[in-house]
Chain A
Amino acid sequence: MTKEKTPIQNNSAGIIQTQYFTFDSLKLESGEKFGPVSIAYETYGELNKDKSNAILVLHALSGDAHAAGIHEGENNPGWWDALIGPGKAFDTSKYFVISSNVLGGCKGSTGPASVNPKTGKPYALDFPLISIGDIVNAQKKLIDYLGIEKLLTVAGGSMGGMQVLSWLVKFPEKIRSVIPIATAIKHSPQQIAFNEVGRQAIMADAHWNSGNYYGAPLPDKGLAVARMIGHITYMSDSSMTEKFGRQKKNSVQPFKFTADFEVEGYLRYRGDNFVKRFDANSYLYITKAMDNFDASEGKALQEALEGVRAKALVIAFKSDWLYPAYQSKEIARAFKLSGIEATYCEIYSTYGHDAFLLEVEEETHLISHFLKKAFYEYEVTGNYDV
């Protein structure tokens, strides 16, 4: 059976190829030297002559470098395709957008499933414990390699937003503006707890085998459960009710614990799909990096950002209970107190944490106007009747 090709829409970033940047070694925040490191990335649009239109977008826990457009012969648009493309929020007819996969990931960047050159086998748990800061340091090398002195903006939601904050604290001189979305300065106990349940599910799978499952049966069940928990936290009570209600599936098998309800079937489907594209050890490493993250490393964020000149757009969503709006408000408050010009908006949405991928219209309005202002360095745009 041949897959039917989706016709490319006018506002698509087009057919995109993932690229790879490899460097010898990275000094990790733990002090350890690690290498070689490959980082998968994609770019959309054209870098202008003075290299002033470069935007870095950063993905969330399960994302990858494929943020927009489609891959040759495939149907799936990138994870932020609704926001990246000609005429979209990150307008690729004006801006040069870079999307980078994280260190520790499993979608082309070096991670626990990569082959350790010293042993010729996958790293598995020999992969070093990494931090969000390490992920950002690797991205910084990519940006240097691309010859970009200063990024117009760094943007991302959820874990992508954590990387945004880390960029701002580490390399303020490299950034003109930031757009952290539905994220936190650091994880709350509730956020850590959900991640820990996911990790425990993976490690409880007999196939996990202390991380040594490559070339053997994979810890699919554990990873699927981790993903199911994740999906519950990405939705909201009302979005679940709207999507599934208490609807039962049509073909109820004569067994006690089959997936009777639509929501059960959905979670199983999401879980089963996830194991086809994600590595369980990467899930462990990346969630641990998120839990350990503290943007200002124990200090108040406003102190860590003192004297930083940047513009900021902070976005949260009303029904997001995984990264509640109060956490984004804390970010915005720290910006304000450190003297960063900031706008904070809490978008009304019933989608829960997923809203950052779904509330396209509102995000497009906020981001496109904000970028215009950041790009042209003006205070106030245009002329308005008042």
Chain B
Amino acid sequence: MTYENIHLDHRVILGLVEPRSTVLDLGCGCGELLYVLIKEKNIRGQGIEINEKAIYKCVAKGLNVFHGDIDTGLAEYGDKSFDYVILNQSLQQIQRVDKVLIDALRVGKKVIVGIPNFAYYASRLQVFFRGRVPVTPSLPYGWYETPNLHFLSISDFISYCRLRKIKIEKSIYLNEKKQVKFLPNLFSQTGIFLVSR
């Protein structure tokens, strides 16, 4: 497998996960990330996904996946059942974010969170100049069709972690093509955080 084929955010997460660890992917979609993690890092993985069609794709990849919603799927796991719990691009679609994140930090030794940045400069420009709710590559939906329930920025997430005493061990910011180091809350479309308690 060539790394060029892998989504940039998946490549970053691949770099955060230790080989042969255990991973729970909440909102695993069609299982691309879990698949890459198993292939490249030899992890033992479990996915939770609400979409039936996506479950079929996961099963075709040989993944273990649970059909259900994230909001209720976590409670049954014991403390520190997984080395990593991943919430990549799913946090903003969860009903009770606070409860799920706290639970994820209980179930996983570490949690990896990937979020779309609402404060990306192009979003700001759309709001400011056009007076429209932004539609960007990382937030591609119109207001009438978006699955996203929450809109947050990189800075919002960082201050949330401070509020809840969640330790941010690593943070990586991305635009469409590469990593962003300068003013990430303005110039990045995606933030990926490795957090723990």
Contact = CB atoms under 8 A, between A and B. Distances in A.
Interface of A: 313, 329, 332-333, 336-337, 341-348, 362, 365-366, 369-370, 372-373, 378-386
Interface in B109-125: none
Contact of B5 (A346, A382, A386): A386
Given A336-B66, A380-B61, A386-B35, A345 B55 contact: yes
Contact of A369 (B5, B38, B52, B62): B62
Contacts of A386: 5-7, 10, 32, 35-36
Given A332-B66, A337-B76, A386-B35, A345 B59 contact: yes
B52 A343 contact: no
Contact of B67 (A346, A378, A379): A346
B52 A365 contact: no
Interface of chain A, main secondary structure = mixed
A336 B46 contact: yes
Contact size class for B?
20 to 34
13 contacts: A336-B77, A337-B76, A343-B65, A343-B66, A345-B59, A379-B38, A380-B39, A380-B63, A382-B62, A385-B5, A386-B6, A386-B32, A386-B36
Contacts of B128: none
A365 to B, nearest CB: 6
Contacts of A345: 52, 55-56, 59, 65, 67
A365 B64 CA distance: 15
B62 A373 contact: yes
Contacts of B76: 333, 336-337
Contact of B68 (A341, A344, A366, A369): A344
A216 B164 CA distance: 77
B60 interface: yes
Nearest to B46: A336
Contacts of B52: 345-348
B62 A381 contact: yes
Contacts of A341: 64
Nearest to B66: A344
B2 to A, nearest CB: 10
Given A329-B68, A369-B60, A385-B5, 5 more contacts: A342-B66, A343-B66, A345-B55, A365-B59, A379-B38
